[in-house]
Structure 1
């Protein structure tokens, strides 16, 4: 196990300072490598972050304000993130798969003065104008060229005092309709991820291969700890199983973060067992239900340990399953992380006994500051314990066993997790309902070999309406983000409801059959 770097052992540190320290210690060590081979050393990365920070200050972006980024992973993207942090600016990384209207709404919501994009995103969001000044990370015609926008070589920013309560980033959790929720994560919260990362070997010899996007919290919980430890991050712009395996072998990958559907696709690759993955120390998984049988196959066929994280972008509490140490607990998501208090409560907010099922709530130093500009939504997400401590409600239900391992039973909310991304049925239902022939709609998630889960809709038409199922589905999919699109749409006479009028989604889900 590598020696713990002094700054990471501290109670609190700033990522911009850590990057500077690594640049002084090992200036020529690779910091970020793109899958194409493009490489930036710690000296170069530190200087690039300085130029970004200086340019932000030049343009009047003050500490605590935000910039937005919507692009595929790249070295300039990473530099904007680190440079923004060094200037005390909150970074809002947005999903390129969102609709143009959603992207415009999120940029406006976070109050970003600058919007960093690439050509692909610019083309996709063109119908919805963005008020912020646009910078093209890839030098395309999408906006001002990134290289021209940067402060001159050798520029350094005015030092900024950054406390643990200051905003680090704003991650938007959902939504193509209504007001999206911007999860504000503080520097103090992110530091807890860095501190925790040292225990899993993020030293200077670490090589972390990341194929999930930089706008995802799933990626960031490995990205920043790797850099803080002085290791190397290898970034893929898009996931491809064969390409991932080639990079893992060639770069001697030691760490990786993957969502369950990616593990399934990798193990299903016909040449998986031919690749040399012996350098792997640990593989991580989060963001979606991870089947016990899939965990077992990963442990059997892939060298190195397997760690599953269960938690929320909002933070609160995290469970960790060291699957390689507890092969008899693969049906669980592990035990609460050190310093994390996770409890189960009933519908009345009262804690349940061990062995009983309840909603999962968590409290820890790694907790969001709140939903940006939405105090009401923030309050709804909090459960206060009898002793006055604030816990984040997960919306999931589970059960602890006698040894303290947590088993997920179901999701209290109807959230769908497809390919590692959260999809909220209410967003999709609202879009479907805008079709002039639709009376009401309900969306549920069903199992999918490709994505883990996929959304389907059940629709009741207005009396006398004659729209076909495929026509309604096409109408909705034209208005939904790529990760939200409906895999199927079924016309029904009426939606089944309980005696109090609640739609019985379980009946819909259980009664659905694959077409063809």
Structure 2
């Protein structure tokens, strides 16, 4: 590509946002004070100068291990300014996985938030990273916040170039070691344009970031600032903390994962809080049971928009608009929406042929949204890009109107007696039962059928139901093939650091020592 057709950088988008609205409140701090856009920009410039003084140069790797601490956002933006390759460690990931990421991404400096000093010290002891810096005074050594404030916050030229690697995002690691997903600015700017054009932002924009800025929550930052909105960071999510923030700050928009929405619906104090300001709830990262989505629409109103994407093509492959969340058309609540403009989306069979409308195929994508590939994994990259498409691993069907319906992850499909059972269909059926809060359906080894359908169910607070009654409930609505052969009642289901139900952990109960244990 010639320089004439080269795009911009993420840093230039940050610069445009912060310079366009210098006096507006960019960020509300935990103590109730705030930073204007001008103040945030000054801190970013100072932090960038500080990191440069520590010897970090364009395309060096910097990792951040922090919660939703305002200064962590400053570091992330300073990385964009300097053209550093940034990688976020999820605070809830295992120590060995975090150490693997630091090594695989060739990280030169690790910045650790105030709440994660103990884990930072454990990583420091392994000697993987040349520099470990704290966000606040700690046993880690130099306090990057205090040290950066001694540097000039005046205008700083952007060092990043469009062809630079902007970030390396690591997958959750539910199928072995995490894979590093390589992105240049192209990916984030494509996502940004689709967010601005296709998501349904309120006019008065006060956004509560209730999921980690290291992952999905961070994707709300740029579009909010570019629209002149205000960000409120929630350090630790709980239903009460979320509802209090909505009431106190008159929040108009947020992003939640389905498990968080379930927790709000089942929270006995939900109606004690003033939620009247809330106009827009984006949700995604994992499928939401249609019955529970209908319940959310009844309790909160028509304020939900569903996003679909994955680490390899983030956030904006498809979108289900608010007006498509129509209780009069309940089948549409199962959809993840329409493909967004600029994305080619096809449903392909095992031979790479497009399937007919209504048939199930693997959802595949071509778009400027798609990653460069996996770091140090040419085999995995070749597999993901087979036949010139990004293979998402999601099985889906498309209706006559173009709406997409995810039926399962390819690896979550249960093959029983030679027939395919999509776990999401059984989970959606169980969610129709008034006692069921959430469920996970997996396959377990079975001498006769190869795999047997098994369900693990969490009941709503105060509800009761016998396992056999729940199995009969599925049998009446879905038939024998989809009916779990066994069903267990659980106090809670394990979740990954990204809030998705951890089916690998559940399968470990049944597949220990077996040849086929799907991750």
Same fold (TM over 0.5): yes
Residue 26 (1) aligns with residue 21 (2):
yes
Asked if 1 retains the 8 angstrom alpha-carbon contact of 2:81 and 2:159, the reply is no
Judged with a 3 Å threshold, the aligned counterparts in structure 2 of structure 1 residues 47 and 383 are, in CA distance, closer, same or farther, namely same
Q: Please, which of 144, 147, 150 is the counterpart of residue 148 of structure 2? A: 150
Q: Match for residue 364 of structure 2?
A: 361
Residue 215 of structure 1 is matched in structure 2 by 214
Structure 1 stretch displaced more, 332-341 or 270-279: 270-279
1:447-479: per-residue Cα shift (whole Å, max 9, x none)?
5569xxxxxxxxxxxxxxxxxxxxxxxxxx9xx
Pairs within 5 Å for 1:448-459: 448=458
Q: For residues 482 and 110 of structure 1, what CA distance do their matches in structure 2 show?
A: 20
User: Which residues of 2 match residues 57-76 of structure 1 at below 5 A?
Assistant: 57-76=52-71
Q: 1:222 and 1:127, CA in 2 relative to 1: closer, same or farther beyond 3 A?
A: closer
Tell me the CA shift for residue 120 of structure 1.
Answer: 4.0
SS in 2 for 1:342: strand
> Which residue matches 1:278?
276
User: Among 298, 308, 318, which residue is 2:306 paired with?
Assistant: 308
Q: Where does residue 116 of structure 1 map in the other structure?
A: 111
**Preserved CA contact (<8 Å) 1:166 1:187:** yes
Which residue does the alignment assign to 1:231?
229
Contact 2:395–2:409, Cα closer than 8 Å, also in 1:
yes
Asked if structure 2 preserves the Cα contact closer than 8 Å seen for 1:202 and 1:225, the reply is: no
Match of 2:86 among 81, 91, 97: 91
Deviation at 1:119, TM superposition (A): 4.7
Task: Give CA deviations for 1:269-288 in whole Å, capped at 9, x if unaligned.
Answer: 22323333222222101111
**1:99/1:481 contact within 8 Å kept:** no
Change (3 A) 1:48 1:203: farther
**Could you tell me whether the CA contact under 8 Å between 2:49 and 2:152 is conserved in 1?**
no
- State the distance in 2 between where 1:486 and 1:46 align: 43
Shift of 1:37: 2.4
Please report how far the alpha carbon of residue 203 of structure 1 lies from its aligned counterpart in structure 2 after TM superposition. Answer: 7.7
Offset from partner CA, 1:14-66 (integer Å, 9 cap, x none) = 44334334443432322122444242221111011101211222233222222
Residue in 2 that maps onto 1:131 = 128
How far did 1:168 drift?
A: 2.1
Tell me the equivalent position of 1:429: none
CA distance in 1 between counterparts of 2:29 and 2:300 reads: 24
> Which of these residues, 380, 384, 391, is aligned with residue 383 of structure 2?
380
Write 1 or 2 for the structure with the bigger share of helix. 2
Evaluate the alpha carbon distance shift between residue 449 and residue 18 of structure 1 in structure 2; reply closer, same or farther with a 3 A threshold: farther
Q: Is the 8 A contact 1:107 1:130 kept in 2?
A: no
| SS of match in other structure, 1:185 | strand
Helix, strand or coil at the partner of 2:223: helix
For the 8 Å contact 1:100–1:124, the answer to whether it is kept is yes
Q: Go from structure 1 to structure 2 and tell me whether the alpha carbon gap of 1:304 and 1:414 turns closer, same or farther (over 3 Å shift).
A: closer
Moved more, 481-490 or 257-266: 481-490
Q: CA deviation at 1:345?
A: 1.1
- Among 47, 54, 67, the residue aligned to 2:49: 54
Tell me how far apart the structure 1 counterparts of residues 186 and 308 of structure 2 sit (CA, whole Å).
Answer: 20
Per mean C-alpha deviation after superposition, the further-off stretch among 226-235 and 33-42 is 33-42
Aligned equivalent of 2:484: none
* SS at structure 2 position matched to 1:196: helix
* RMSD, aligned α-carbons: 3.4
Q: Distance in 2 between matches of 1:493 and 1:198?
A: 46
Note if contact 2:40-2:74 (Cα within 8 Å) is conserved in structure 1.
yes
Q: Determine the C-alpha separation between the residues in 1 that align with 2:353 and 2:194.
A: 31
Contact 2:394–2:409, Cα closer than 8 Å, also in 1: yes
Q: Does 1:187 align with 2:190?
A: no
* Residues in 1 aligned to 2:457 and 2:202: alpha-carbon distance in whole angstroms: 38
TM-superposed deviation, 1:238: 1.2
Residue in structure 2 matched with residue 457 of structure 1 by the alignment: none
TM-score normalised according to structure 1 size: 0.76
Checking the alignment, whether the CA contact within 8 Å between 2:136 and 2:144 is kept in structure 1 is yes
With over 3 angstroms needed to count, the CA separation of the structure-2 counterparts of 1:139 and 1:202, relative to structure 1, is farther
Q: Give 1:81's match in structure 2, choosing from 76, 81, 88.
A: 76
Taking the aligned partners of 2:174 and 2:154, their CA distance within structure 1 comes to 39
Q: What are the within-5 Å matches in structure 2 for residues 241-280 of structure 1?
A: 241-280=239-278
Residues 232 and 11 (structure 1 numbering): CA distance in 2 closer, same or farther, change over 3 Å? farther
The 1:40–1:100 alpha-carbon spacing in structure 2 relative to 1, beyond 3 Å, is same
Give distance in 2, aligned partners of 1:285 and 1:51: 35
Structure 2 match to 1:433: none
Question: Hey, what does 1:438 align to over in structure 2?
Answer: none
In structure 1, what is the equivalent of residue 346 of structure 2? 343
Count, aligned residues: 435
In structure 2, relative to structure 1, the CA distance for the partners of 1:398 and 1:52 (3 Å cut) is same
Residues 205 and 333 (structure 1 numbering): CA distance in 2 closer, same or farther, change over 3 Å? same
Long gaps (5+) in structure 2? 414-422, 425-439, 443-451, 461-493
Q: Which residue of 2 aligns with 1:174?
A: 172
